[in-house]
A and B are shown apart, each in its own frame.
Chain A
Amino acid sequence: MTPVRDVDVALPPHWFQILLALADRDLHGLGIMNEVLERTSGRMRLWPAMLYRNLGRLADEGLVTEIRAPRNAEAGGGRPRYYRITALGRRACGAEARRLAGFVAAARQKKLLPPHRAQDAPGGPRLLHPVAHNTRGGGPGC
């Protein structure tokens, strides 16, 4: 039986980024690598072997699941593995995002950051992806 992760335990930063990449679509390993690299402006580089190890651990924890590759998908030696975020993964990622948002709010309160404006977000105002379940309610995940 897959052990169920407590969504309130903080996620390691690279797990958070992987789940964020899968939040709106299914991806294979190379796609996850590229999206994380782009989103973090090159600050987080996921190298191949550890990426696949982390995807394995995320699957063990029930946060992602492996799915069949689309028919037209091809990699060097065959069809690549595709991954999809699970409901538990969404909750854990959402909880982590709220926790980080809480830190950002605290930084704004202490005037380390300017007050928030919607048009300041990269790419303009964005809608956060809706979370399927939230058994604990809102607020920073802690």
Chain B
Amino acid sequence: MSDRSVRIYRLLSGLLPADAREPELEDAFLACLSRERDRLGWTGLPYVWMMVTADTVRAAVLLRIDRRRRQRISAQAQPNSQGDPTMRILWQDVRYGARAIRRAPVFSAMVILTLALAIGALTAIFSVVNGVLLRAMPYSDPDRLAILYESIGRSGPIGFSAPDFRAFEQRVTRLSAIAAVGNRDYELSGIDQPERVTGARVSAELFKVLGVEPQLGRSFTRQEDEGRIPVALVNDGLWRRKFGADPSIVGRAILLERKPYTVIGVMPRSFVFPNRGTLLNNVPADVFVPISFSDQELTGFGSMYNNTVVGRLAPGASVAEASAEARSIAGQLVREIYPSQLREMGLDLAALAVPLRDETVGRVKTFLYVMLAAVATVLLIACADLANLLLTRAAAREREMAVRAALGASRGRLARQVLVEVGLLAACGGALGVVLALWSTGAIVRIAPPTIPRLEEVTVDWRVLAFTIGVSMLTALLCGVLPALEASRKSSGESLKDGGRGGIAGVRQRRAFGTLVTVQFALAVVMLVAGGLLFRSFARMMAVSPGFAPEHVVTLATSLPANAYATGKDIRTFYGRLLDDVGRLPGVTSAAAATDLPLSVRERRSFTIEAQIPATAQLPHVVAHEWVIGRYFETLGIRLVRGRFLSTQDVLQSERVVVINNTMARRYWLDGDPIGQRVAWGGAKTHGPWMRIVGIVDDVKQGPLNTETVPQTYQPWEQVIADAVSTELIPGAWRSMKLIVRTAGEPSLLSAALRARVRDLDSSLPIAAVRTMEAVVSESASPQRFTTVMLGSFAVSALLLASLGIGAVLATSVSNRTQEIGVRMALGAARGDVLRMVLGQGMTLAVLGIAIGAPVALVLTRLMSSLLFEVSPRDPVTFGAVAGLLVLVALAACYVPARRATRVEPIVALRCE
């Protein structure tokens, strides 16, 4: 925090003249920061920033005055020297503007606060855009990095298998080095509180490819990788959190999965890898261990495509060239090194390369730019409101301007004075906006869904401050240009004669007001349509059935370390006893376990059908897959379509069975009946043992609710884990089961009891969080919810600002036309006629704005179609609802001033000036 604060203060003190920027200013600033935090707690930080900003701005101005004074004094001592009249005049304008602001403190405070909120919101969103999309990634020359994927037929991008990666290492030329990475969770123990940490198995070249060295110690050697030496690197966050940033951690042993690993280094603070946002292996790691492929992995041709490969482009090579070469090499591998059975299958293996940055942030680009555009639109609407307010004030000061013009002030000078005054307001609003942005950026990062990558790099840096300054200047221009033009019109004494009110300003002013309100409503239409579409999309998504009944169900993740659970029998014993114990808990109606939960099924397998129908032979044969224990379908409330569920009779010794989902049945058997048919893992000529299909269940979502359901299979876990299979051959998935428990009562009340049952069986296992399945369903929608809430808030702000705008304009109009209304009523107009006249004026502006905004929204909302689910960007219901809402809001906003107009007493109105 201190480093960041000093960096920001250094940027702020750039406002001071060069000779005043002392290094000890930073010491003094840090002393103030520490003192106020001690005194005020968490409120000390915003207080200090506010005071320090005001202090620096004030000193910057006064130091320059002091310098002028010294120059003047020395110029007086040298009679022939000349001053700078332009700067003198500008300084006069600044002092005049500051006096005008001080004379109307409430008005000025309102303007500054409105600007601060709007500029602050825009700055906060921009700092997220800056951190995620614009800042360079924390690697050396990051634009030369690429991610490689393989694919089989039309499977889409998948990872690399171990033998394919090793072969690519030998053959690739357009990449100077490549490295493989695979995420894996580990139990970290041997410390106070054991916990599960995210790890990454990485090949030794990774840190060379990324161009990053540890801040302490060293990275892996190839010998350690291939020699399967248990060494580890920890990331900075884990080092500080669990080891107190103790430098003696290098050389110390830590227990991962209860196996000792020697820590050989600590990665730098800014280092994050893997990145969120990529397709696979996308969880930032706390620990890094050598990938040390097992013999089974290295001979696993045609399977286990689990590894992400990252590479650095060779000098002069492009991503397109690397991608073409990767495709060519993949084709060679099947012909040259794959076993003959796979060759005869005609395996269509391909590979491609994509830039690392695009792969990391490409999926959130649209969302972030839509957010930025939305908050910029709110700022524009706020500017229109403020321009209206300033125009009203300019009209009230018309006499003052006329007097100044009569005394010799040029039109340009009058206009400049108004612009400088608005500029001062915008500068104060911008400065306060930066302080608000500092706070709100932290809040946005905390509530943003974890699917947004690089959030840890979001910070307020020089680019953000430059953006804020630019926005403040543009805001000053937008808010001030109309009032400045208005102020500069010489009224040749007419303003002086009529007391400076209404009259000349009337028609021009009404036209300007009307234009601004129309623009506000047009922008509000765009915002509300965008917000409405997202809202409908989110509602549609949440209405999608997940395929199971999440109410009254809890889940608890477990993972058994290989060292302590060396055989299949150990694992079977643990989960068998756990399910028995849990099943006997009061209130529990059913218990089960599975390798994945609904909405996050990660396993994908290729398969073959014994009696393949020719019509579906060309389809990619890849399914999502889960291994399950116990009464899985009954516990989750998944409906049986045909056949039977898996049961306790399906054991290792009985026939291998599998249950499939509706999508798989329809896709591969069309109208036929798959019950009784047999399938196997692998290809037609290289498959594993046959499994008989015994049941078809309803589709359950394998990903978020807005993703397509894919074919899925369920296999009894009992039929996979043989008793005597050694630890080395049991993949982590089979040792990491998710417990699923249905209860008659409140599911969250089971939490302590479930954890206690796990602790009873193994007190060293880290305690995982217990979640209800309803929370799991809700969290799966958190990205869409975040988008909808953010854009919805901006849309509501736009609506409020637009309605305030039209209400204020109409109120001013009524006030300015009091005499006219009085005359009309005196000549016989009824109050109803006056009401209709005023309402008609307001509604004309609103309807015109809606009519302009609707076609603009039609065009712009196409850009956000990737954010929508089952809703067209031209959805007529949304457009109609928005138009109706705006008409109602405009009516409500116009009604108050219209009613006030009907209360004008003709006699009073005719008398008043």
State which of B30, B31, B55, B73 has its C-beta within 8 Å of the C-beta of A49: B55
Q: What is the minimal beta-carbon distance from A69 to any residue of chain B, in angstroms?
A: 10
Q: Report chain B residues within 8 Å CB of A52.
A: 20, 22, 25, 59
> Would you call B66 an interface residue if the criterion is a C-beta within 8 Å of the partner chain's C-beta atoms?
yes
Q: Report chain A residues within 8 Å CB of B25.
A: 48-49, 52
> Would you call A60 an interface residue if the criterion is a C-beta within 8 Å of the partner chain's C-beta atoms?
yes
Q: How far is the CA of A47 from the CA of B60 in the complex (A)?
A: 13
Stretch from A17-25, A26-34, A131-139 contacting the other chain: A26-34
A53-B23 in contact (CB<8A): no
By the criterion of a CB under 8 Å from any partner CB, how many residues of chain A are at the interface?
26
Stretch from A6-14, A77-85, A98-106 contacting the other chain: A77-85
A-B contact pairs, 23 of them (CB 8 A): A1-B77, A28-B24, A30-B27, A37-B35, A47-B52, A47-B55, A48-B25, A48-B29, A48-B32, A49-B25, A50-B62, A51-B28, A52-B25, A53-B20, A53-B63, A56-B20, A57-B66, A60-B70, A75-B27, A76-B23, A78-B23, A80-B22, A80-B27
> Would you call B8 an interface residue if the criterion is a C-beta within 8 Å of the partner chain's C-beta atoms?
no
A81-B55 in contact (CB<8A): no
Q: Report chain A residues within 8 Å CB of B55.
A: 47-50
A49-B27 in contact (CB<8A): no
Q: What is the minimal beta-carbon distance from A80 to any residue of chain B, in angstroms?
A: 4
B23-A49 in contact (CB<8A): no
Q: What is the minimal beta-carbon distance from B423 to any residue of chain A, in angstroms?
A: 21
Q: Report chain A residues within 8 Å CB of B77.
A: 1
Q: How far is the CA of A76 from the CA of B20 in the complex (A)?
A: 15
With A47-B55, A50-B59, A52-B59: A30-B28 Cβ-Cβ less than 8 Å: yes
Q: What is the minimal beta-carbon distance from B3 to any residue of chain A, in angstroms?
A: 12
A75-B56 in contact (CB<8A): no
* B window 16-65: CB within 8 A of A: 16, 20, 22-32, 35, 39, 51-52, 55-56, 58-60, 62-63
A60-B66 in contact (CB<8A): yes
With A30-B31, A48-B32: A80-B66 Cβ-Cβ less than 8 Å: no
Cβ contacts A41-63/B at 8 Å (1 or 0 each): 01001011111110011001000
Report B's interface with A, CB cutoff 8 A: 13, 16, 20, 22-32, 35, 39, 51-52, 55-56, 58-60, 62-63, 66, 70, 73, 77
State which of A33, A49, A76 has its C-beta within 8 Å of the C-beta of B16: A49
Q: What is the minimal beta-carbon distance from A15 to any residue of chain B, in angstroms?
A: 14
Q: How far is the CA of A10 from the CA of B13 in the complex (A)?
A: 31
A49-B56 in contact (CB<8A): yes
Q: How far is the CA of A60 from the CA of B31 in the complex (A)?
A: 27
A50-B58 in contact (CB<8A): yes
Q: How far is the CA of A76 from the CA of B29 in the complex (A)?
A: 11
Q: Report chain A residues within 8 Å CB of B31.
A: 30, 33-34
Q: How far is the CA of A34 from the CA of B26 in the complex (A)?
A: 15
Q: Report chain B residues within 8 Å CB of A1.
A: 77
Q: Report chain A residues within 8 Å CB of B26.
A: 76-77
B24-A53 in contact (CB<8A): no
B24-A29 in contact (CB<8A): yes
With A60-B70, A77-B23: A48-B28 Cβ-Cβ less than 8 Å: yes
Q: What is the minimal beta-carbon distance from B213 to any residue of chain A, in angstroms?
A: 27
Q: How far is the CA of A28 from the CA of B59 in the complex (A)?
A: 18
Q: What is the minimal beta-carbon distance from B861 to any residue of chain A, in angstroms?
A: 48
B62-A76 in contact (CB<8A): no
State which of B13, B24, B52, B66 has its C-beta within 8 Å of the C-beta of A30: B24
Q: Report chain B residues within 8 Å CB of A29.
A: 22, 24, 28
> Would you call A122 an interface residue if the criterion is a C-beta within 8 Å of the partner chain's C-beta atoms?
no
Q: How far is the CA of A72 from the CA of B23 in the complex (A)?
A: 16
Q: Which residue of B lies closest to A49 (CB)?
A: B59
Q: Report chain A residues within 8 Å CB of B27.
A: 30, 75-76, 80
> Would you call A3 an interface residue if the criterion is a C-beta within 8 Å of the partner chain's C-beta atoms?
yes
Q: Report chain B residues within 8 Å CB of A56.
A: 20, 63, 66
Q: How far is the CA of A57 from the CA of B66 in the complex (A)?
A: 8
Q: What is the minimal beta-carbon distance from A81 to any residue of chain B, in angstroms?
A: 7
Q: Report chain B residues within 8 Å CB of A77.
A: 23-24, 26
Q: How far is the CA of A42 from the CA of B36 in the complex (A)?
A: 11
A49-B60 in contact (CB<8A): yes
Q: Which residue of B lies closest to A80 (CB)?
A: B24
Q: How far is the CA of A30 from the CA of B31 in the complex (A)?
A: 8
Q: How far is the CA of A107 from the CA of B876 in the complex (A)?
A: 79
Q: Report chain B residues within 8 Å CB of A80.
A: 22-24, 27
Q: Report chain A residues within 8 Å CB of B62.
A: 50, 53
Q: How far is the CA of A86 from the CA of B584 in the complex (A)?
A: 88
State which of A34, A53, A75 has its C-beta within 8 Å of the C-beta of B66: A53
Q: What is the minimal beta-carbon distance from A108 to any residue of chain B, in angstroms?
A: 33
Q: Report chain B residues within 8 Å CB of A48.
A: 25, 28-29, 32, 52, 55
Q: Report chain B residues within 8 Å CB of A81.
A: 22, 24
Q: What is the minimal beta-carbon distance from B66 to any residue of chain A, in angstroms?
A: 6
Q: Report chain B residues within 8 Å CB of A34.
A: 31
Q: How far is the CA of A34 from the CA of B51 in the complex (A)?
A: 17
B28-A33 in contact (CB<8A): yes
Q: How far is the CA of A75 from the CA of B52 in the complex (A)?
A: 19
Q: How far is the CA of A81 from the CA of B30 in the complex (A)?
A: 17
With A34-B31, A52-B59, A56-B66: A47-B51 Cβ-Cβ less than 8 Å: yes
Q: Which residue of B lies closest to A42 (CB)?
A: B39
Given contacts A49-B25, A49-B56, A81-B22, 9 further A-B contacts (CB under 8 A): A1-B77, A30-B27, A47-B52, A49-B55, A51-B28, A52-B59, A53-B66, A56-B63, A77-B24
A3-B73 in contact (CB<8A): yes
Q: Which residue of B lies closest to A78 (CB)?
A: B23
Q: How far is the CA of A4 from the CA of B63 in the complex (A)?
A: 20
Q: What is the minimal beta-carbon distance from B602 to any residue of chain A, in angstroms?
A: 50
Q: Report chain A residues within 8 Å CB of B28.
A: 29-30, 33, 48, 51
Q: Which residue of B lies closest to A56 (CB)?
A: B66
Q: Report chain A residues within 8 Å CB of B56.
A: 49
Q: Report chain A residues within 8 Å CB of B29.
A: 48
Q: How far is the CA of A47 from the CA of B30 in the complex (A)?
A: 11
Q: What is the minimal beta-carbon distance from A59 to any residue of chain B, in angstroms?
A: 10
With A34-B31, A48-B52, A56-B66: A76-B59 Cβ-Cβ less than 8 Å: no
Q: Report chain A residues within 8 Å CB of B39.
A: 42
Q: Report chain A residues within 8 Å CB of B16.
A: 49
Q: What is the minimal beta-carbon distance from B507 to any residue of chain A, in angstroms?
A: 49
Q: What is the minimal beta-carbon distance from A9 to any residue of chain B, in angstroms?
A: 17
Q: Which residue of B lies closest to A2 (CB)?
A: B73
Q: Report chain A residues within 8 Å CB of B66.
A: 53, 56-57, 60
Q: Report chain B residues within 8 Å CB of A30.
A: 24, 27-28, 31
Q: What is the minimal beta-carbon distance from B53 to any residue of chain A, in angstroms?
A: 10
Q: Report chain A residues within 8 Å CB of B24.
A: 28-30, 75-77, 80-81
Q: How far is the CA of A80 from the CA of B22 in the complex (A)?
A: 8
Q: Report chain B residues within 8 Å CB of A76.
A: 23-24, 26-27, 30
Residue among B23, B27, B66 with max Cβ neighbours from chain A (10 Å):
B27
Q: What is the minimal beta-carbon distance from B527 to any residue of chain A, in angstroms?
A: 40
Q: What is the minimal beta-carbon distance from B76 to any residue of chain A, in angstroms?
A: 11
Q: How far is the CA of A33 from the CA of B432 in the complex (A)?
A: 25
Q: What is the minimal beta-carbon distance from A137 to any residue of chain B, in angstroms?
A: 32
